[in-house]
Structure 1
Amino acid sequence: MGLIGGGFIMFSLRRYRKILEEYNVFERCAKCGTCTYVYGSWAPACPAFNEFKFLTYSLGGKLLLAWGYLNGRLKLDQDIARVFYSCTLCGNCAYQCQITETDGTRPIKLYAITLLEAMRKELVRVGLGPMPEQKRVWDWILKEHNPYMAKHEDRSLWFPKDVVKGLPEKAEIVYFVGCTSAYIETEIIDATMRILNRLKVDYTILKDEWCCGLPLIRTGAPSQLVDEVVNHNIAAIEDAGADMIVTSCPGCYRVWKEDLADRHDFKVMHTVELVAEAIERGELTFKKPLKAKVTYHDPCDLGRHCGVFEPPRKILKSIPGVELIEMERSRENSWCCGAGGAVAFWLPEFTMNTACERIREAEETGASLLVSACPGCAMTLKNAIKEKGSRIMFRDITELILEHL
């Protein structure tokens, strides 16, 4: 489990109420506003509050709305739905909350994001969610198994043919590609597969990979819709004879490792974990130096939600010549790229503004290279670099690894 809890909400908000009452989540929230800033430095922490400048969009505001609804004092409407769907679900708000029980439990840190996802499921149940643009994504996932309005038959179009032809049908490891790598950040596929070859691991790819289900899960889709894609992928991995999933996508990683943890027995690793372990064992060394100042962006799903902070930094520090410079908001306090929670599908301006703020922060480090470990962050941050006309360069860490072996 990550730093702020996790797990896919397979039940209704009202069944979740017992947990909320046991830990007094609503009553314990003091509406102090700490959730909107990085505790101690007071840099902005909440993208939605930073964008809309209204406390309703903060975690404290959303907890109050949920409390009012659960206690029959508030009726859900389209305005409330917009508030809950204008959240990247990055979890920074929950991490900043300092409220602590006598036993050391930090209930809001543990349960707040789960509550926000449960509220989205409730909004769907009463016919107010998701937003129309997100509903079109649902329809496309069920039709073509990806959220990008692309054809399923084109999913493997950018796979490196010289690598794919040598892969076995069955293997110990399945490389789960993910939709963003398959259709947009395609360089990550090539880099990941060639890295796996260099590591000499027994791996394959699925003949018919579907979306992991993240856009459905994060927007509150009914369980039967999620089950359709999840069951397909689980069966495909079992047919491949694999007992491990490796992915370069933190979104897919979190879905498999946290949301679906009770649905399978596969071990789940992000590429950075696999590579960092190989470096630790002395099985992988970087021979080509990179004389550059580098700053690293922690993807929310990989870092704050799943607790993977050290492996990417170990990799970067192992490349000769790299000077790693941390941004003001890094690790647990990392600023979201702006695309999380399926917000980018219906609030692109909000996503762009949030991403541009991250580029500003990266520029302030004096680094010439911004690195991350997420195809979604790559897509979003590269768009922001172009929008700002920034001189900073972006590379996904898989590309950097391959280039300097």
Structure 2
Amino acid sequence: MEFPSLKKHGLDINAFTCAQCSFCQVGHGACPTYKVKRVDSYSGKGKMLITRALAQKRIKEKEGLPGLRDAIFGCTLCGGCEEICQVDIPFVKIYQLMRSDFKDLGMWPEELEDAKATLTKSRNIQGQPQMDRIEGWSYWHPDEDYLLDREGVKNKTAFFLGCASSFKAVPIQASIATAMIMEKIDEEFTMLGEEEWCCGAPLIMTGDFEGAKEYAMHNIQKYQELGVERIFTNCPGCYKMWAHEYHEFLGIEHEFEIIYGADFFMRLLDSGKFNNISSDYEATITFHDGCDAGRNAGFYEEPRKVLENLPGITLEELPHNKENCYCCGSGGVLRAIDNEFALSINHLKVEDIEQTNTEIVVSACPSCVDFMHNQLPSAGSEKASMDLAVIIAKSLGLEWDGLDEVY
């Protein structure tokens, strides 16, 4: 049996190039799903061996496909296997393409059909009214009109919020913090508000490439109408879609410069925008490298440079950090498919965090921050989870009503 999408992209050969070295199972960092399941098929090596056996017709489709399907979708797409692979197999892209083929085979998990129905109805993965993308939380901002006045205005710079940062209380704090930082340093920007649709990441991650095109084209058109030239976003998943996967999976080209939030803040720092920070805020923190920001995009030094230049911040690295950072369990749409599995992966993350002598775990990913915010207390941890943007805002002496209410 062949997987058409792998063949189309010239990646079917990777099932035969896997060296079976098992580094993706036991290496430093490595695969979180295998660490939890301890089943070969949940590792990169195991998936490649089953794919190879199917291609060689050494196992029957009815015997091999169901288990392979469960393993392909039971993955956070964290890239841990890819980072440590000795023969450079692009596992994350392979899994996304195979998910597309499983969809065409009628073997998409039914939970994803429910998620797609929510997205189709609401134009956001949270299933919330679109008018609440800004108006649902703008009252937390000290100057509500400042936010609302930026909705749909023409500007060369746009702030793409993303679904989590529009509708979930903890990530919303990063959206407020970012807007307040921009106001303090006199940086103008625009937002789409209720005209912002999901970036399409849940669809691309699960292999529904055709479904994702509508979302990509809608947002592109809206930004073109506003004369936007560059787009920054605090969500590394949204960044990855705009910067890479619209082209890679959807064949869509656009003219925008796409900037990830941590990189955007570093550029502001380098340009002197954060000079003369006078806040008394102090905190001892550790930093979680979200998978899409770190392994899947390479943004390791940018957030650290920002944190190291905030006077009251002391950074202690996690035992597993940067390219070896443990996944928090929230990626790859795994929470929609098997939330208990995702929680088990998060337990590994919490254990790593608890080995530090810190007060706060900071990340530059809204989904990671939100998931850890919920799970740290459940695991008995007293540590808080905060977004990089919130730490910057607090270091600049900025405060707003919702901050203490959420944390």
TM > 0.5 fold call: yes
Aligned to 2:111, the other structure's residue is in SS state helix
* Partner residue, 2:183: 197
**C-alpha displacement at 1:36, in angstroms?**
1.9
Q: Which amino acid aligns with 2:184?
A: R
* Partner residue, 2:147: 164
* Partner residue, 1:117: 96
Aligned to 1:127, the other structure's residue is in SS state coil
1: CA distance, partners of 2:349 / 2:120? 33
* Partner residue, 1:92: 80
**C-alpha displacement at 1:280, in angstroms?**
1.6
Q: Deviations over 1:160-179 (max 9, x none)?
A: 42322332610001110100
> Is residue 59 from structure 1 mapped to residue 44 from structure 2 by the alignment?
yes
1: CA distance, partners of 2:42 / 2:80? 13
Aligned to 2:286, the other structure's residue is in SS state strand
Question: CA, structure 1 residues 264+282, in 2 after alignment: closer, same or farther (shift >3 Å)?
Answer: same
2: CA distance, partners of 1:360 / 1:241? 47
2: CA distance, partners of 1:388 / 1:341? 23
Aligned to 1:371, the other structure's residue is in SS state strand
**C-alpha displacement at 1:72, in angstroms?**
4.1
Q: Deviations over 1:42-82 (max 9, x none)?
A: 4x521110111111100001111222334444416433211
Aligned to 1:186, the other structure's residue is in SS state helix
* Partner residue, 2:22: 33
**C-alpha displacement at 1:323, in angstroms?**
1.8
2: CA distance, partners of 1:258 / 1:367? 35
Structure 1, 272-281 or 55-64: larger mean CA deviation:
272-281
2: CA distance, partners of 1:138 / 1:263? 24
* Partner residue, 2:7: 14
> Is residue 267 from structure 1 mapped to residue 251 from structure 2 by the alignment?
no
**C-alpha displacement at 1:153, in angstroms?**
3.2
> Is residue 180 from structure 1 mapped to residue 164 from structure 2 by the alignment?
yes
User: Where does the alignment leave 5 or more consecutive residues of structure 2 unmatched?
Assistant: 397-407
* Partner residue, 1:138: 116
CA RMSD of aligned residues (A): 1.7
Q: What is the correspondence of 1:324-363 to structure 2 with a 5 Å cutoff?
A: 324-363=315-354
* Partner residue, 2:291: 300
**C-alpha displacement at 1:283, in angstroms?**
2.0
Q: How many residues align?
A: 376
* Partner residue, 2:105: 126
**C-alpha displacement at 1:188, in angstroms?**
1.6
Aligned to 1:116, the other structure's residue is in SS state helix
Q: Deviations over 1:117-153 (max 9, x none)?
A: 1110110011001x11122111111111111232333
Contact kept in structure 2, 1:296 and 1:370, CA below 8 Å: yes
* Partner residue, 2:203: 216
Q: Deviations over 1:11-62 (max 9, x none)?
A: 823313x3443xxx22331222101233xxx4x5211101111111000011
* TM-score, structure 2 normalization: 0.88
**C-alpha displacement at 1:85, in angstroms?**
0.5
Q: What is the correspondence of 1:304-319 to structure 2 with a 5 Å cutoff?
A: 304-319=295-310
* Partner residue, 1:6: none
* Partner residue, 2:133: 155
Q: Which amino acid aligns with 1:12?
A: S
> Is residue 281 from structure 1 mapped to residue 281 from structure 2 by the alignment?
no
Contact kept in structure 2, 1:49 and 1:58, CA below 8 Å: yes
Aligned to 2:158, the other structure's residue is in SS state strand
